[in-house]
């Protein structure tokens, strides 16, 4: 479970709790990464860039993230959709953690990457859209293709993706939000 939101008071925190409840009810073993709380640096650095295609790179700074990715069979991303996609913090996690030797490898002489996250059989996204962010509403399922195509290609061949989204959160009623939380819990317990 990778959670991305700067505020602990936001609706996304309740979404996280509902997702965790569901996963526990389903008997799943869960590891949670809270990107903001853990002080993750989303900025792909000059060093990251220099090491982009290199082998035997020291990845001590993201070792915990790598270990979790290799351990997991089901990846759950919880985040608000901003500007039709993942917030910068989460995009940065993908930029910096889904790297050569972790998510993919490029064998010498080959032009296509080989997937390395073969144990991941399921990717679930739980995301919210706020109505005041007009762009997101008009763009529809933001960031979806990146998950269902680019990321899924590096997982198990039979990896399935699940998309659980709520729209117009900013003008939603308490009942609507409660219904969404229940839906999240039930989907993740399955």
**Whether 109 contacts 23, CB under 8 Å:** no
| Minimum CB distance to another protein, residue 23 (Å) | 25
Question: Contact between 114 and another protein (CB under 8 A)?
Answer: no
Q: Which residue number, 29 or 160, has a Cβ lying nearer to another protein?
A: 160
- Count residues binding another protein (CB under 8 A): 39
Tokens found for residue 48? 């990251």
What whole-number distance in Å separates Cα of residue 190 and Cα of residue 29?
13
**Closest CA relative to residue 166, chosen from 178, 158, 154:** 178
Minimum distance between the CB of residue 155 and another protein, rounded to whole angstroms? Answer: 14
Residues in 37-56 at the binding interface with another protein, rule: CB under 8 A: 42-46, 48-50, 53
Between helices 174-189 and 11-25, what is the axis angle to 10°? 30
- The neighbouring-strand residues paired with 163 are 125
Check residue 140 for interaction with another protein (CB under 8 A). Answer: no
CA distance 44 to 172: 36
Tell which one of 14, 66, 146, 165 touches another protein (CB under 8 A): 146
Q: Is 13 in the site for another protein (CB under 8 A)?
A: no
**Structure token digits, residue 80:** 């608000």
Binding site for another protein (CB under 8 A): 6-8, 10, 36, 42-46, 48-50, 53, 82-89, 91-92, 94-95, 98, 111, 132, 134-135, 138-139, 143, 145-146, 149-151
């Amino acid at each position: 479970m990778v959670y991305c939101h700067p505020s602990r008071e936001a609706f996304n925190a309740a979404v996280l709790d509902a997702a965790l409840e569901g996963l526990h009810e389903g008997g799943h073993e869960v590891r949670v990464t809270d990107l903001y709380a853990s002080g993750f640096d989303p900025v792909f650095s000059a060093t990251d860039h220099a090491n982009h295609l290199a082998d035997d790179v020291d990845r001590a700074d993201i070792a915990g993230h790598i270990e979790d990715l290799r351990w997991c069979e089901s990846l759950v991303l919880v985040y608000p959709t901003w500007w039709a996609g993942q917030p910068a913090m989460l995009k940065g996690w993908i930029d910096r953690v889904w790297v050569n030797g972790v998510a993919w490898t490029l064998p010498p002489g080959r032009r296509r990457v080989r997937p390395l996250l073969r144990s991941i059989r399921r990717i679930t996204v739980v995301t919210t859209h706020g109505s005041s962010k007009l762009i997101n509403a008009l763009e529809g399922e933001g960031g979806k293709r990146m998950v269902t195509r680019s990321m899924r290609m590096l997982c198990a061949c039979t990896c399935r993706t699940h998309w659980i989204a709520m729209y117009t959160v900013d003008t939603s009623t308490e009942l609507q939000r409660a219904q969404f939380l229940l839906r999240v819990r039930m989907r993740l317990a399955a």
